Every structure is written in structure tokens, then in C-alpha cells.
Amino acid sequence: MPTAVRRVPGRLSAPSPGWTTQADVVIVGSGIAGLTTALRLNAADNGVGKILVITKDRLAAGSTQWAQGGIAAALGPGDSPEEHAIDTLVAGAGVCDEEAVRVLVDEGPDAVRELIALGANFDHDVHGEISLTREGGHHRDRIAHAGGDATGAEIQRALIAAVGAAPEIEIIKRALAVDLLLTDPVEGDGGVAGVTVHVMGEGQRDGVGAVLCRALVLASGGLGQVFSQTTNPAVSTGDGMALALRAGATLRDLEFVQFHPTVMYLGADSMGQQPLISEAVRGEGAFLVDFDGDRFMQGVHELADLAPRDVVAKAIMRRMLDTGRPHMWLDARHLGAEFWERRFPTILGVCRTHGIDPTTQLIPVAPACHYASGGVRTDLHGRSDVPGLYATGEVACSGVHGANRLASNSLLEGLVYSRRIAQVLPGELRGWSDPAPDTRTAGLVPGDARPELQEVMTSRVGVLRNAAGLEEASSMLDKIGSRSAEGVDLAAWETTNLLTVAEALTEAARGREETRGSHWRDDFPERDDVTWAGHFDTVMSDGVAEVSFVAAPASDGGPG
């Protein structure tokens, strides 16, 4: 693919900082990745100094809180990290980093046990062992869950309680990380010197300020709000990815956006966060049917309704396109009311809120944006290519997920790789440096352009893609990018971040002329390992973003 070049703001327009503070390490994000990093850095006498967590809303507003199914790890009898690795690699469709996967599955069981020791209460069976279930793409029961279908909420509760018991960790809530402050690339290393922050209603720190720091860890989540319908919360506007890109970090594999196959269909006009119907429901025996009652996953994949998510999402979309229907159905009536109330109380309540009783009725489902497998490119310890900048969780591309994340590997990745950052960061803390003058070209697009941007991405860069639609999307995003915001506010900052990641995502999707994992091109329906075994990387210099293909090393066919 020839390099695709896009022009987007090199930094966000913002007033001069009205206040300044400092912390040795700043962590952006308060989900499993961010709080695990904070707790691990704070746990040992490692000389790190002051730790500051910045969260865009309240501590529990991110994606961790909404995780239903559970956390995957080889904890059960007969299971092994090797089998977990095989399932992960198969789901990743040939572009996983095998070493990163090995780290995940080998360190995962101990990381989960440590989470339990911290206070997370997982469900247990009648023998007192951790209760394990199965989800799509797994050949073993290895999904640990809590509260039936409230795993993320329980993990978030335990982490918040632990942070609350660690007064050394400072928290700034309702704060958007705007842009990195960087050292001089000539006199210094061009690395992290701080971050500008917009705080919304926190007393003396209200408005735009600057936090000087020696290292910054991005744990800010994904980009789900780039699409009209998503399972992601409202805070998931790609802020961390856009901030990192503007600072010189590489974004990798943005075209691999996972669309969860079973999101409750609320109608064509429903926008924003949609109710997720966990894959664990199918793991317990629910199955998909069309409007004629046919179980259309039979014969599509050896695991049928428990095939990897990309396979199920594509099968649902194919049946929707073939029949002209806006959704398919999930049949879980046979599980019974008692089972539903015990195993899936949260999903049951949500369904009933929307007028569906899954104990007696079919649930309408359709794919919706769920998870970004790509993000800030990192090594095995979360380092980006900007000195002093680390990334973990959904904002990062560690290489674990490849082209399609295996179910319930996301919480595990945030846990394992945050621990690994905490292992190395204390020994890599840089000295204090003054930020260099920021000469990057500033800009903002209007906040009210968000619905139009989301419609463009949903209709042309969603589950099903082709050259014509992607070219139209590219042109339409250009037009959105040509508009200038009249004011500087949160809506304009978020929409500009969404535009930045949307343009990079679209260009990577245009370039990858094959179907692989969660990237589905109907004009190139086959996977092509001869041409496309590799990654699309996006880098930026002063507002000029370049998207180019990095081929896999010929030696092993693995990731680049």
C-alpha cells in the first residue's frame, strides 16, 4: 500500500494553563488497567514518588465497569496456558504477537489470583472452586465471573476500594487529558515532560492546567463512540490514542475493530451506548436463530454459536443482508427464570427495562462496535516509542489480540500488562525536564459534527466494508475536518479526537485489501497471508498523519 497522508490538528486548541501541579507518574484512566498500574507502583518501596490518577469522569465510568462475561485464564483442571494461547492465536487470525500472547497466558493465572487476594469476589461452584464458564473461541471452560454477569463491576469495586485505602495515590476526577507536554527533541529526548488537563468543576483546579511529570501511563480505554451504536460508555472517545499520536507515538492495527455479535437491538434510531448481551449467555446454552427459527450458526463453524466473535458477527450480518431484516434473535428461553435470575441478573434486568423478558421471549440482537484491538503500539512492558510514555489496556496495541480479540482476554490484558509496566517503570524514571514550547499546529473541529462523523463511520467503515464506501468515508471525513470550531470546549476536543482516530482507522481499512478477523471487505473476501501478513501503522508529525503497511518478518511469518 502506498503511504496514505492525512492532515489533522497537531494539538488541540486550548487556553494557556491556569494552574500547574506535578507528580512523578501520571496515569490517565481508572479502569482495571489504570488502577492496577497505580496500585502496583504504590505497593513497593521503589522510589517512584507521587502517583496521580486522572479520570475523565468518576472512577467507575469506564469500560471495566460494564464487562459482563468475565476474565479468561487457565485456572481450571485440565486447562493450560498453551491451550489458552492456541485459542488466542486462532481468534487473532495470523497477526498476533506470539511472544505477547505467551506473556498473557503464562502470567494470567497468577494475576487473577492476585486480584482475588486484593478483594475481588468471584463466583464459586458447590465445591468451593472458582466457577468457570465458556465463551466464543474458547475450547475450555476458563472464564471466571463475578455476580453472575457483573464481573467488571466487581473488579472495579475491589480496585476502587484498594485505591481508597492507599492515600498516597492522588485522584483528579472529571478531567480530560488534552495533550502531552514534550521535552525539546534537540536538547532533550523529545519525551514526556507533562500533560495538559481540562478539569470540569473540581474547585481550585477547574479549567485547563498542566501536570508536570516524569512518566505518563495511558490507560484511557477505546474509541467506541466513533460509531453510532457501541457497547462502550460515553467517555470512550479515543482521547488517549489521539493524544499519543499527536505526541509522536505509533498507532497500530486500528482497522481491527471488533463488533460484538449480540448487542440488544433497540431500533435503527437508537444511538450511543447499547445493551450488551454477553457471550456468556451463549456459553450457557443460548443460540442464535433467524426470523424463521433456523439456527443459522450450525455448519458455519465447528463451535457453532460459540465461534470467535468475528465469525458470529459476520454470520449475523450475512443473514440480515440476505433476508432484509434489521436484526436476528437470541433464544435463551430454555435456560429458565431461576437460572437467569442467578446467573445473569444484570442482563435480565436490562432486557426487562427495554420490554423483553428473555425467560419467555427471544432477544433481538445485532452487531455493534465493542472493542478496539489496535491502539498505541507497545512492547512487552507497555513502552511506546515516545520516551516516558507507556500504554496499557484497550488504548494499547500490545500484540495480544491480533485481528480479533478472544472473548474475555481484555480484562486479563489490562491486568497482566499493567503489572509489567509497574515492573520496569521505577527503574526507567527520567529526570525532571521543562516542556519545550509547543509549536505544533493547533486546531479543533466543531463538537456538533459528532453525529455526522458517527454516521459516516457506521455506514461505511462498520462491520461490512468495501472500496467505494471507504473512499466516500475518507472524503466525508475530510469535509468534517475542514470545519473550525468557534469555541474551545469538551465537545470540540472529543470530536476532534474522534476525527483523528476515525481518519487513521479509515485509511488502514482502505489499505488492507483482504478480509481478516474483524476487518471484513466484501470486495476482497479472502484472507491473504502472502500480501497482508503484517500491520498498518499510523504516525504523525505536526498534523500530518501517515498510514503505511509494515510487513511481517519473513523469518517466522509473525507480526511486524
Domain containing residue 316: CATH number: 3.90.700.10
Mean of pLDDT values over 222-247: 95
pLDDT of residue 61: 72
Name the pLDDT band for 556 (thresholds 50, 70, 90). very low
Q: Give per-residue burial for 75-110: e unless 16+ CB within 10 Å, then b.
A: bbeebebebbbebbbbbbbbbbbbebbbbbbebbbe
3-state secondary structure of 251: strand
- Report yes or no: 352 and 310 within 8 Å, Cβ to Cβ: no
To which H or E segment does residue 380 belong?
Answer: none
Question: Structural domain of residue 289, as residue ranges?
Answer: 263-367
- Report yes or no: 41 and 424 within 8 Å, Cβ to Cβ: no
* Number of domains composing the chain: 2
Q: Can 343 be counted among the known catalytic residues?
A: no
Name the pLDDT band for 63 (thresholds 50, 70, 90). confident
pLDDT of residue 554: 54
- Phi/psi for 302 (5° steps) reads -60, -30
Name the pLDDT band for 1 (thresholds 50, 70, 90). low
pLDDT of residue 203: 63
Which CATH number fits the domain that encloses residue 449?
1.20.58.100
Examine the fold and report which residue of 322, 350, 367 is the final residue of a domain before the chain moves on: 367
- Report yes or no: 509 and 255 within 8 Å, Cβ to Cβ: yes
In a domain, 139, yes or no: no
Its sign, for the CA torsion 348, 351, 357, 362, is negative
pLDDT over 70 (residue 225): yes
Determine the distance from the C-alpha atom of residue 99 to the mean position of all C-alpha atoms in its chain, rounded to a whole number: 20
Which of 62, 53, 61, 88 lies closest to 73 in space, CA to CA? 88
In a domain, 48, yes or no: no
In a domain, 419, yes or no: no
In a domain, 19, yes or no: no
Report the distance separating Cα 277 and Cα 33, nearest Å.
Answer: 23
Q: pLDDT above 70 covers what percent of the chain?
A: 98
Cell of 551: 510487513
In a domain, 158, yes or no: no
In a domain, 143, yes or no: no
Give DSSP secondary structure letters for 293-345: ---TTTTTSTTGGGS-HHHHHHHHHHHHHHHT-S-EEEE-GGG-HHHHHHH-H
In a domain, 506, yes or no: yes
Report the distance separating Cα 230 and Cα 11, nearest Å.
Answer: 27
- Phi/psi for 319 (5° steps) reads -70, -35
**458 and 547 co-located in one domain:** yes
Choosing from 309, 377, 405, 460, which is the catalytic residue? Answer: 309
Across all residues in the chain, what is the average pLDDT?
93
**Per-residue model confidence as pLDDT tens digits over 481-511:** 999 999 899 999 999 999 999 999 999 999 9
Examine the fold and report which residue of 367, 397, 432 is the final residue of a domain before the chain moves on: 367
**Per-residue model confidence as pLDDT tens digits over 350-383:** 999 999 999 999 999 999 999 999 999 999 999 9
In a domain, 351, yes or no: yes
pLDDT of residue 559: 34
CA distances from 282 to 64, 287, 309, 401, 548 (A): 21, 6, 12, 21, 38
pTM value surpassing 0.85: yes
Examine the fold and report which residue of 311, 338, 367 is the final residue of a domain before the chain moves on: 367
